[in-house]
Each structure stands twice: as structure tokens, then as C-alpha cells.
Amino acid sequence: MMNNLNATVLLEQITGSLPYFLPEIVCSLVFIVAIFIDLFTRKQSRSLVPFFVFAGLLLALFFTLDQFRMVKEEIWLFNGMIRLSPAGIIYKLLFLLAAMVTHILSIRSKAIRLAPKGYAEFFIMLPVFIVGLNIMSMSSHLLMIFLGMEMVSIASYILVAYMAEQPRSAEAAVKYALFGALSSAVMLYGISLLYGLTGTLSLQGSTFLANLSKAPEYISALAILMVLAGFLYKISAVPFHFYVPDVYEGTPAPVIAFLSTAPKAAGFAVLFTFIGVFTLPMESYHLVWPKFNWENILVFISICTMTLGNLSALAQKNVKRMMAYSSIAHTGFMMMPLLVFSEMSAASLVFYIVVYVLMNLAIFLLVGHMEDAYGATELESYKGLAAFNPLLSVCMVIVLASLVGLPPTGGFTGKFLVFSSVLEAYRISHNPWLLYLLVAAVLNTVIALFFYLRLPLYMYFRKAEKIYTSKTPLYLLVIMCLLVAGILMAGVFPSELVKWISAHTAETAQIRFK
């Protein structure tokens, strides 16, 4: 009788969770139906499948926006496996934005249209990405986190290998898959150790941390580091960054625009959740769990990531590789709020990620167009392009200024908030490592000037070697202007966005033991 009662309660919890899981259900159905459309309408699938997938993404966007009305505070779904919060909804909106922009760009991309592989299959993978990314950002259970990461990883391998007939793309796909498999294996072993030490995979409540505190310090530290390795791979932090430049160089720009934004944002959402478990509700919510020194480890990784990324970018001649190292450097900056588990750091992290998604979508939109229209892949090939495409050139300057962190762009506001949260933490804890991090971040911002501004230098102050006649598509101009407007609005009028994000992330920074 008791077993039947428990099964009934569990079934009610699952069915009661389904209305809050509609965006993921829609994307799953879109994926399945799109496969059958491609299977039974081979000749028409090149037009039907992209249209159907985009319509599905729009429907998922509608249900995601509706969740702001339904969810005012954290809701635990599927017996505590999933945690839906206002902050998680913001991440889900970012994933959909990145997927929809990538979808539009991919329809017009020469590399994707002319690839010998099935054209429709490319778009079929986008709903899978959304499901995996959403699960990552909402998971409060290590098994669900791992499943979400694997869904995203497998879909990423497929898109990166989409042009595997080209040697450079094949090399990028192999490196990406090998690094991914290694990181997944290490992370899974770390999860198994944590399960053996704690008896649970759930990050909800006090059981996990209480049991882990009883384990020997060196074993618990090893398990945490192994799980942390999987997260660092997903956000491309040092020393798990080696695959990034080759993947960026050998993959079409629309794919990289998506892979450099959405999975990284989901990785930071998961990492913030995981670190929050080790944050005790005392001493201004600082990382004070005595058996693992989070602050110093993350400070060291953050400094190494931003420094190596910026210094490596200085030596690059290929624009995609330069932007790959730029993405690594920004990972170092985005790690800074993880050192301060407070409402301010949660808001600054989400704000930075929002601006980063806009910036990276914009820059790879521009880089992809320059490659398709002018064959520009190296810095030298950007000579004089501003004369042939003045509007997009101005947009590129604005985006690059935001990537550096210059006012009045969103990049400046994002870095200001991040730096402020770390400075506030230093005033409270007086940890010298936080001061070292601030100094390194300022110096790296200066270093970034030297390689970001090389593109405007070649475009405006170098003479073109030939005359170009390519026209800019209207859809490209519209998307580019919208992204640049968002970047500027986040820099010129940041207060409203910061207030809105703060209101939706306040509970994310509070660990409530149940």
C-alpha cells in the first residue's frame, strides 16, 4: 500500500511538472517531426525543415516568455531533479536568441548550403541543442547535469563535423570529440566519487554537503576537481582550452556564433549552481567551506585563462583564431563573479553573459559575412574593406570596442559590474588573491586593446589591394543593427537592465537548505 502511495505521489509530481516544461517538450517534438519531414519529403526538405524548425523555436520562445508570468520564485520539478527559476528563464531566452540568429544566418551561409552533407540535418540539431542547454541551466541533480552536457556535446560534435570532407574541419571535429570524450569521462568518474562519498546526486538540501564534509579531504577535493574539469571544458577555461582555436578556424561562422555563446552560458549557469552548494549561509555568502579552497583555485584559473587568451590572440593572423582566443579571455573575466556568491555577483554574471552573447553573435555574423563576400580570413585580407561596406564596418568597430570594454558599450558596463563585485568581496575578506585578480583583469583589458583594434586599423587605414562589388543582404543589416543597438543600450542605459536582472537573480545567490 505504501509503495502504491509513493508511486502515485511521484506520478503526480511528474505530471504537475509538465506545464513548466513546455518549451523543452516543443523542441523535442520539433526534432522528431523534422526527422520524418526530411525522411519522407527529400526534395522539399531543404525548404520545409528550416521553416518548420524556426516555427518550433518561435513556439518555444512563446512558452518561455510565458514562464515569466508563471514563475515568480524557484520551482522544483520532477521530484527535485529540475529547478526552474527566473534566472534560469533568462538563460533559456538567451539560448533561443542564439539559436534563432544562427538559424537565419545558416540559411544564407555558403559553407552550409554547399556542404555535401544533408542540408536539413543541420537545422534539425538546433532543437536538440535547446533541450540540452535548458536541462543544463535548470538542473539541480548531477545526473541531469551530465545528461544535459552530453546532449549538448554530441550535437556540437555533429555540427563541427558538418564539413568533415575538408581536412581542417575534419581535424577540428576529431580534436573536439577527443577532448569532449576525455572531459566527460573524467567528470563522470568525479560524479561517481561524489555519489560514493555522499550517497546522493542531488544538489538540493544539506545532505550532499553534510556527508561530503565527513569524507577525507584529499578524496573529496579530488572528486570536486574532476567534476570541475568537465565544467571548465564546457566554458573553455585553461587548461581545457586547446581545442578551441582549431574548432573555430575549421567551422562555419554561424556554427561558431552559436557554440561560442549558448553552451558557454549554460556552462556558467551549471558552474554557478555547483559552487553554490559549497557556499554556507554566513559571512556575506562567501565561499567559506573549509575543506576546499574555491577562491584561490578559481582566481588562479581565471588569471591564467584571461592572460593566456589575450597574449595568444596577439600573435594570431587568422581572424577566427584571434576571436577564439578572445572567447577564452572572456571566460576568464566571466569567472570573476564566481568568487563572490552574492546577489551582486549573480546579477553581474548574468549581465555579462547577456552582453557577451550579443557581442559574439555580432562579431561572428560580421566575420562570416566578410569571409563569404570578400574571402577575408586573415588580417591582411581586411585591408580597406571599410570603403566598400561602411555600415558594417562601423558596426564592427562598435562590437570590437565592446569586446575590449570601452564606454559607452555594454562590454564596459559588464566589466565594471564584474570588477565591482570582486572589489566588494576584497573589502570584506581582504584576500590578497582577489586583489591580484583585479590587477590582472585591468592589465588584460589593456592588452586586449592591441589585438582588437588591429581589425579597424586594417579596415580603415590600409589600402585595399583590389575592388570589391559584393552587396550586403538586407536581413544581415537588420540583425546586425539590432545586435549593435542592444550592445549600445546595455552601455548607455544599463540601470533598467541591471535592475531587471537583479530582480530575477536574487534568489539564485541564496542557498536555502531544505
pLDDT digits (tens, 9 = 90+) for 396-424: 899 999 999 888 888 898 898 888 888 88
Q: Which pairs from 36-39 meet CB under 8 Å and 24+ separation?
A: 37/120, 38/118, 38/120, 38/121, 38/124
Question: Span 262-277, mean pLDDT?
Answer: 87
Check whether the bond before 239 is cis (ω within 30° of 0). Answer: yes
182 part of a folded domain: no
% of the chain residues with pLDDT over 70: 88
User: How far out from the chain centre does Cα 311 lie?
Assistant: 22
Task: Name the residue among 386, 376, 374, 363 with its Cα closest to residue 452.
Answer: 363
**Of residues 215 and 326, which shows the higher confidence score?**
326
* Res 1: pLDDT: 44
Answer yes or no: is pLDDT of 510 > 60. Answer: no
Tell me the C-alpha distance between 102 and 55, whole Å. 14
Dihedral sign, Cα of residue 280, residue 292, residue 275, residue 196: negative
Dihedral sign, Cα of residue 497, residue 503, residue 508, residue 510: positive
Answer yes or no: is pLDDT of 352 > 60. Answer: yes
DSSP string, 448-463: HHHHHTHHHHHHHHS-
Tell me the C-alpha distance between 370 and 377, whole Å. 8
* Res 304: pLDDT: 92
Residue 166 per-residue DSSP state: S
Answer yes or no: is pLDDT of 29 > 80. Answer: yes
pLDDT tens-digit readout, 486-500: 999 888 887 777 777
Q: Are 192 and 212 in contact (CB under 8 A)?
A: no
Burial grade of 430 (CB within 10 A; 0-12, 13-18, 19 or more): exposed
**Which grid cell is 118?**
544533408
pLDDT tens-digit readout, 97-126: 989 888 888 887 766 666 656 677 778 888
SS (H, E, C) 401-443: HHHHCCCCCHHHHHHHHHHHHHHHHHHHHCCHHHHHHHHHHHH
User: How far out from the chain centre does Cα 462 lie?
Assistant: 35
* Res 443: pLDDT: 92
* Res 274: pLDDT: 86
In this predicted structure, which of 36-50, 104-118, 301-315 has the lowest mean pLDDT?
A: 104-118
**Which grid cell is 224?**
570536486
* Res 116: pLDDT: 58
Q: How many domains does the chain have?
A: 1
Answer yes or no: is pLDDT of 474 > 60. Answer: yes
Tell me the C-alpha distance between 251 and 176, whole Å. 11
Amino acid sitting at position 165 = E
Residue 75 per-residue DSSP state: E
Q: What is the pTM of this model?
A: 0.90
User: How far out from the chain centre does Cα 113 lie?
Assistant: 26
Structural domain of residue 494, as residue ranges?
306-508
Question: Apex CA 145: angle with CA 144 and CA 147, to 5°?
Answer: 60
384 part of a folded domain: yes
* Res 307: pLDDT: 92
Answer yes or no: is pLDDT of 10 > 90. Answer: no
Band (2; pLDDT cuts 50, 70, 90) = very low
Question: Span 165-181, mean pLDDT?
Answer: 78
Tell me the C-alpha distance between 240 and 233, whole Å. 5
Mean pLDDT over each residue of the chain, to the nearest integer: 82
* Res 58: pLDDT: 92
pLDDT tens-digit readout, 55-90: 999 999 999 888 888 777 777 777 778 888 888 888
Strand, coil or helix: 77 = strand
200 part of a folded domain: no
Tell me the C-alpha distance between 233 and 237, whole Å. 6
Answer yes or no: is pLDDT of 296 > 90. Answer: no
pLDDT tens-digit readout, 366-390: 888 888 777 777 888 888 887 888 8
56 part of a folded domain: no
324 part of a folded domain: yes
360 part of a folded domain: yes
